[in-house]
Amino acid sequence: MGKGSFVDGKFVEGAEVLKTVSPANGQTIEEVFLADGKTIDKALAAAEKGIGKKPQRENFRILKEILSERSLEIAELIAIEQGKPVQEALAAEIYPSLSYLDFLLRKGEEIIGPKEVPPYETMFAAREGLLLHQATVVNLIVSPWNYPFAIPFLDIVASVFAGAPVIFRPSAKTPLVGLEIAKLFKDAGFPSYSLQVLITGHREVEEILKDPRIGGIFFTGSVETGRKMGELAGRLLKRAVLELGGKDAMVVFEDAPIERAVNGALWAGFMNAGQTCASVERLLLHKKIYREFLSRIKEKVEALRVGHPLEPETDMGPLISKEQREKVLRLIEEAQGKVVTGGRAMEGEGFFMEPTLVLEPPPSSTLWREEVFGPVIAVRSFETEEEAIALANDSKYGLTASVWTASRERARRVAEALQAGAVTVNDHLSSYAEPSAPWGGVKGSGLGRTHGEFALRDAVQIKYIMGDFSRRKKLLWWFPYSPKARKTLLLASQMLFGRGKLRAMLNLIPSIPRLVREVGPAALLSSLGKLIGL
């Protein structure tokens, strides 16, 4: 693998280096060259050459095959550099990426290919309408360290598939995984303009976004940084798709399949050591099942095997850094809730801590209100459906949520009431792996959507083309204006949209020759069809 940024099909060196550290032991894995201004300029110039050029379908097919063949190798790299267990990397990062590639190959052209759109307006009934999705810029993709492969990969392949080249800036904590994506593209034979990977700091990201060749940013990360990126994009009139985290609520009713719900909360709360924007951070339990649920989940939390992410039996790996672990431990201490299990750092190498359950933290505590991004589930009880919805919605975030119940009616009712971009029933988080499902939140969780057809459409500009190939020399609404033309337009609007349709139609009869001449017979037939409900 190259040890520096990937520009115009080559890995390049630089003067300054960045050390990437394994969270499992705190040791340096490798040194990676940082991109300087000259390298960034070369990357932008290389990407610009590919605007509007779609790679061959064969490139994506080969990419899918290579990724499948190297799945274990890449999952192990993710485990070493980011810290999640290998099985988790396979399930949460590699598999969704393969599935989305398959979705693009099967459905992509159907979604963003040219579409004939017959005009709805009766005056344009004889015209032709065409909808195009055109790539006119380079897209900037900035991704976090918690899912260093899947989050950027899905956005990258959607943009490149649509013909919009990508400048990708991976997290400084996981640059090796980012460069592995570059290697995959290179080995799959993609044109050198398709993808540029730049290892940079935050300041350089802002400068890249300001470049006129960049048309938009797909940013996943903290609310604070996301706001800055969104504000800058807004001033520059550039598109910004922002996914900024969550404080997900899992709502468990008294009729829920309790063993399934316990296992679901365990996984969704502690997978990736809780460092997931859609982790279960707030567990809301109906009072009738509160004690039984807590007894079962406490036993299972204490049985989780915390250890090195390369060990096949490890359930939970380390946090990404010592600083992140200290932040999580501080929030637990400040919350003053009842810690029923966990809540401590683990001795030895690496940044490990115990998975933690905190009961009834104060509603005003940071632990309850802010994204913790660690292996902590805060638990509260409720009595009524209305109370549960109010508790779940009492958050500045709104990424995902889940409802656990045996009732389809209740599930639909509560899911519709929850303020979140995605809601799952008797499951949590899994819609991320559904290629056709949109991903994104409401409120403080960001703007826009990725994944599915939305990722393709947000990567491009939509153009509408309307054609009129009739031989009419003048249209009804063109110059010169006249009292007769004004009256004809007024009667036509009354006939089509007003109350006295029949009277207006009768009054229009003297104007039919003019309408045929200046609007066309197709418009008259279309108007008649609307009048009789066709």
* 3-state SS class at 293: helix
pLDDT at 533: 66
pLDDT at 2: 54
Q: Give the list of residues 6+ apart from residue 328 with CB closer than 8 angstroms, or none.
A: 274, 319, 353, 372, 373, 374, 375, 376
Encoding tokens for residue 510?
């003297």
In the chain, CATH 3.40.605.10 covers 12-245+454-462
Instruction: Give whole-number Cα distances, 400 to 125, 248, 332, 420, 425, in Å.
Output: 43, 6, 23, 5, 11
Q: Residue 450: is its pLDDT beyond 60? A: yes
pLDDT at 501: 84
Q: Of all helices (H) and strands (E), which one includes residue 139?
A: strand 138-142
Q: Which of 104-118, 174-188, 488-502 has the lowest mean pLDDT?
A: 488-502
Q: Residue 500: is its pLDDT beyond 90? A: no
Angle at 502 between CA 498 and CA 503, to 5 degrees: 85
Q: For residue range 284-335, what is the model confidence (pLDDT) as tens digits?
A: 999 999 999 999 999 999 999 999 999 999 999 999 999 999 999 999 999 9
Q: Residue 460: is its pLDDT beyond 70? A: yes
Determine contact, residues 48/138, Cβ cutoff 8 Å: yes
Residue (of 396, 487, 486) closest to 445 by Cα position = 396
Instruction: Provide the sign of the torsion angle of the four alpha carbons 317, 222, 249, 431, taken in this order.
Output: negative
Mean pLDDT of 171-184: 98
Q: Which of 85-89, 202-206, 352-356 has the lowest mean pLDDT?
A: 202-206
Mean pLDDT of 360-378: 97
Calculate what percentage of the chain has a pLDDT beyond 70.
99
Residue (of 154, 157, 252, 143) closest to 199 by Cα position = 143
Say how far apart CA 94 and CA 70 lie, in whole Å.
10
Q: Max Cα separation, the chain?
A: 93
- Give the pairing of strands 239-243 and 422-425: unpaired
Strand partners of residue 378: 282, 358
pLDDT at 504: 86
Residue (of 11, 22, 10, 39) closest to 200 by Cα position = 39
Give the E-state strand segments of 148-238 in sequence order: 166-169, 195-197, 214-220
Q: What DSSP string runs through 446-497? A: EES-BSHHHHHHHTSEEEEEEE-----S--TTSSSP-HHHHHHHHHHHHHHH
Q: Encode burial over 301-326: b for 16+ CB neighbours within 10 A, e otherwise.
A: beebebbbbeeeebbbbbbbbeebbe
Look over the chain and give the mean of its residue pLDDT values, rounded to a whole number.
Answer: 96
Say how far apart CA 281 and CA 445 lie, in whole Å.
14
Q: For residue range 382-409, what is the model confidence (pLDDT) as tens digits?
A: 999 999 999 999 999 999 999 999 999 9
Q: Residue 477: is its pLDDT beyond 70? A: yes
Superfamily of domain 12-245+454-462 in CATH is Aldehyde Dehydrogenase; Chain A, domain 1 (3.40.605.10)
* 3-state SS class at 530: helix
Determine contact, residues 81/20, Cβ cutoff 8 Å: yes
Say how far apart CA 158 and CA 216 lie, in whole Å.
14
In the chain, CATH 3.40.309.10 covers 248-394+400-434
Fold for 248-394+400-434, please state it: Aldehyde Dehydrogenase; Chain A, domain 2 (3.40.309)
Rg (CA), the chain: 28
Mean pLDDT of 84-88: 98
Q: Residue 534: is its pLDDT beyond 80? A: no
pTM of the model: 0.94
Mean pLDDT of 265-272: 98
Calculate what percentage of the chain has a pLDDT beyond 90.
90
